[in-house]
Structure 1
Amino acid sequence: MSQEGFPTAAARTILNHNSSLGLEVTPSVSPGKTPIQILHEYGTKTGHLPVYVMEKAEGEAHRRSFVFNVSIGDVTCTGHGLSKKAAKHKAAEAALSVLKLEPGPNHQIPNAADNGVEAEAQNQPNPVGILQRGWRLPEYSVCMEAGPPHQKEFTVTCRMETLAETGTGSSKKQAKRAAAEKMATKLQALQGCLDRPWALKPTVRLECLRTSSGEKLSALRRNPLSTPNTDYVQMMLELSKEQGFEVTYFDIDELTVNGQYQCLAELSTVPVTVCHGTGISCSNAHNDAAHSALQYVKIMASAK
């Protein structure tokens, strides 16, 4: 899985960079924000997070074009682009137009009560929304469409890192929800509870790392993370204690296609950071996940 915009291969294992956690309660829409960011903030405020589904990819390998749908509440819009990011951008732009949320220096995203949109039912958590709390945004794709026009059945695949689940339904929305439910169940088994109160854990905002002068963080900025036989789990533990966040490791039952063990390292930062690791043993997978997390923290702490 890749994360667009990161400068190194190690950083492409990051799962959560676009997490909805950490947003301001009443965010302002500034001209510098992209339609994707504006729509995400609107969804966070109203309780209906946008969900992007890749409908299809067309053209030759050197000239691919993509079609993405975005659904937010009762609004569904389509975007086309020469990259996945561009197609998502266009879809979000179209949704903003329907919702009449044009970017502007004085524009405020409305409260749910202000525009008649009710927040997601408290007693019936939406699995699509749950997957977007503290994880890298999942990617949905329609992999099958069968049946006569009056009785269609859709199959949607939900992918997160090396995990994949499929769901079926009489509409794309139902199939998407079914796939998200299966993925949420799998992730709950991995980490105990997806919807636990993060406020009870010690946290640190990622942007605060850029100004930190802690000894461990300063050493991380200076030194390369390529020394053989390094205990990266211990390094991460020492760094987390210094900077005031927690690290939790979750073993994945499924092996990779190469027969290696898998692990997720979760940092209680804001936004939450989740990194993936593999290895010939559980401890090796933990060490690899810690290495990836350290690489990400180093990038964030060194960003200008």
Structure 2
Amino acid sequence: MPTTGISKTPIQLLHEFGTKTNNLPVYTLEKAEGQAHNPSFSFRVTIGEISCSGDGPSKKIAKHKAAESALNILRGDATLNLPMTEPITRDVSKQTATQAQENPIGSLQELSVQKGWRLPEYFVSQEAGPAHKREFTLSCRVETFVETGSGTSKKVAKRIAAEKLLAKLRSIPTDNLNISLGIVNNTGCTWDKLKNSPGEKINMLKRSPLSIPNTDYVKMLTEVAEEQDIRVSYLDIEELSVNGQFQCLAELSTSPVTVCHGTGLSCGNAHNDAAHNALQYLRIMAGRK
């Protein structure tokens, strides 16, 4: 019996659309946080010029939501005639309800990625009080904007700081915000520029298997980035992965911004893994027809 459209998941529908248009979706793991009993994952899917993310307690659910967001954007184009399925409609309603109870730290990171800004930075400003009743003050910075939060733990202070900065950024009109950040039609390194680049490093990357042991991928990424005028920054994640490893994010100032996740037995290993994932993604995008 043939499978009907109503039983297909957003991942399947997006893959079918990508197959028909010769433009397969690419999924990138952006975040893996939380304890073993309560993990949290974030995936980004890129298909053509569309890039969307999704969060969930498992990798499958996070990819499902990312694909669902991309489909919702594609459905806005009436010429595509994509099917509307009941399960997806219900999931969108659930997602909307979930967004009402958002995690300000994750939302601030998502906003930064969408706008092409550097990822949020957090640092301890002050520690006060006796050992049994400590109070922490953390500062959160995105580009030129800074807010602080205080709490009985670093986690609480971090959340409050992110919440305050997120509210501030959302309250400023986009035009005024771009002026404050000094952003004036900065398109950065687009995928079209990357695909058509005659640069030696990017063309070597297209031919590289990226599978040679003990390779310094951080150095390789730096060389490619310098050639293509891409800024690379690494953000260490405080929480260990579900496997007890260090985590970090590598952010590339492409347009749209690329963020790749990395893990390792040390911070350096995590950086190298994130750089490896970023190089794999650049190779895929630069080689697309």
Structure having the higher helix fraction is 2
Bigger relative contact order, structure 1 or 2, given CA contacts below 8 A and separation 6+? 1
TM (norm. structure 2) is 0.49
TM (norm. structure 1) is 0.47
